[in-house]
Amino acid sequence: MAHLCGLCLALRGDHGQFARIVTNYDGLLISVLTEAQSGPAAGARRTAGPCPLRGMRTAAVADGEGARLAAAVSLVLASAKVRDHVADGDGLLARAPMAAAARRVARRWDRAGARTGASLGFDTAVLVDAVDRQTGIETLAGPGTPVLVVTEPTETATAAAFAHTARLAGRPGNAAPLAEAGRYFGRLAHLLDAVEDRAEDAVNGAWNPLTATGTPLAEARRLCDDALHGIRLALDEVEFADAGLAHRLLVHELRNSVDRAFGTSSCGHTAVNSAGGGGGFGAPPQGFGPGQGNPYGGAPGNPYGGGAQGGGPYGGGPYGGGPYGGGAGMPPAGGPGGGGQPPQKPRRGLLAGCAVATWMFCTCQLCCTDHEGPWSRKKRDAWCDNCDCDCCNCCDCGCGCD
């Protein structure tokens, strides 16, 4: 959140309030990588004022060259996306007045991003060139065209942005491995976008790289897994001052993103053994199969036994015993709070609940942050929170972020 808010405020500070609409999660990686290499430094954080998206709370946010580079990259890429929507005549942009206004905004963002990039020693022309080539490549692509031909411009643009963080952090030796990580990240972002939009694009008749090139989902998954592996290997060669957050985002969360897009569940830290079985990113899921070192199978010495779910140390049933399975080894249900649940806070009265609800609505806490119900005091998700992400806690990669 510090980096996301830092990106948003850098856009406002350098380019005005309207530019804040291009704030995005991918862009904040530039800020994260810069700080991960340079380490904590004076002036790297500043206290931002209350914001509705933080429930009207102040916060320490990222400040400095990393956030400004992220803002410049986000602006240039957003301007390219606007031009692409204008060219396709999407929605309101099919109308001439709206299209003209959108072109003016795109040109202004191009110039603003180029100015900020130049002040940081980064030439945004490489981003503009990549976007311009993308259109031509998509026009020529057809059945049989390797999908990596289509993803190449995105890979090139992302590689350049990642590599420049090494210069900002004063670690030029990191430029090559970060460029490699950026190339794989660009490929992954492009492929995941194509996978997630595939059904909708088919309904709308929109262009989709997987459909246009005839790339099956199995091949797209293989390319995504290769990219995940490539990112991790590249990051191993980068000299970080504090790799924790960068590793969490580029290894753990990317694996979660791939699993969500393909509707699978797997672990991204399984090692490939010398015999070629067990682990890796292959099929069966994560390389586990009969005789391949499945830690949850019925191999001798496995404490969890065999069967579809394993025997489990907590008794029978598909998920073990205890309060949900009725087996031995767990404390009985019906303890403090009822059924093992923590005790609930007392409900608020009508007037007190109305007062709290009014306060939460006026400060945007109801729509923008997880909160307690004004009357029930039960935990509620933000109204606009449609994220189904989870954290990777199934393995130990030695990064300390599980």
Structure confidence by residue, pLDDT tens digits, 34-49:
999 998 777 778 888 8
Does 100 share its domain with 13? yes
pLDDT at 386: 44
DSSP string, 258-282: HHHHHT----TTPPPPTTS-S-TT-
Percentage of the chain beyond pLDDT 70 is 72
The H or E element spanning position 57 is strand 57-62
Task: Report the mean per-residue pLDDT for the chain.
Answer: 77
For residue 30, being part of any structural domain is answered with yes
Asked which of 48-52, 169-173, 243-247, 363-367 is least confident by mean pLDDT, the reply is 363-367
How far apart, in whole angstroms, are the C-alpha atoms of residue 248 and residue 32?
Answer: 11
Is residue 190 assigned to a domain? yes
- Identify the weakest region by mean pLDDT among 52-56, 224-228, 391-395: 391-395
The answer to whether residue 183 sits within a structural domain is: yes
Q: With residue 50 as reference, give the H or E element that holds it.
A: strand 45-51
Q: What are phi and psi of 62, to 5 degrees?
A: -65, 140
Q: Based on the fold, state whether residues 41 and 112 are members of the same structural domain.
A: yes
Give residue 309's Cα distance to chain centre. Answer: 30
pLDDT at 205: 85
Q: Report how far apart the first and last C-alpha atoms of the chain are (Å, whole number).
A: 18
Conformation bin of residue 55: beta by default, left when phi > 0, alpha when psi is -120 to 50: left
**List of E strands, 303-393:** 371-372, 379-380
241-269 b/e with 16+ CB inside 10 Å = b?
eebebbbbbbbbbbbbbbbbbbeeebbbb
Q: Looking at the domain assignment, is residue 319 inside a domain?
A: no
Residue 29 C-alpha from the chain's centroid? 9
Q: Which domain holds residue 365?
A: 350-380
User: Is 110 found in the same domain as 37?
Assistant: yes
74 with 12, same domain? yes
277/292 Cα distance (integer angstroms): 5
- Asked if the structure places residue 208 within a domain, the reply is yes
* The residue to which tokens 């939460």 are assigned: 360
Residue 59 near residue 2 (C-beta atoms within 8 A): yes
Unique residue bearing structure tokens 């309060």:
323
Number of folded domains that form the chain:
3
Lowest pLDDT segment from 30-44, 204-218, 361-375? 361-375
- Reported confidence tier of residue 16, pLDDT bands at 50, 70, 90: confident
Question: Whose CA is closest to 73, among 137, 160, 139?
Answer: 160
Angle 128-132-138 from CA coordinates, rounded to 5°: 140
Position with higher pLDDT, 119 vs 308: 119
- The residue among 277, 268, 271 whose CA lies nearest residue 227 is 268
- Is the overall model pTM greater than 0.85, yes or no? no
pLDDT interval class at 356 (50, 70, 90): confident
- In what helix (H) or strand (E) does residue 339 lie, and over which residues does it extend? none
- Within a domain: residue 69? yes
Residue 212's pLDDT is 94
Asked, for residue 194, whether it belongs to a domain, the answer is: yes
Q: Flag whether pLDDT at 264 surpasses 60.
A: yes
Q: Which one has a higher pLDDT value, 354 or 70? A: 70
In whole angstroms, what is the distance from residue 379 CA to residue 217 CA? 38
- Cβ-Cβ contacts under 8 Å for 136 (sequence gap 6 or more): none
The verdict on residue 165 lying in a domain is yes
**What are the b/e assignments for 154-163, b being 16+ CB within 10 Å?**
bbbbbbbbbb
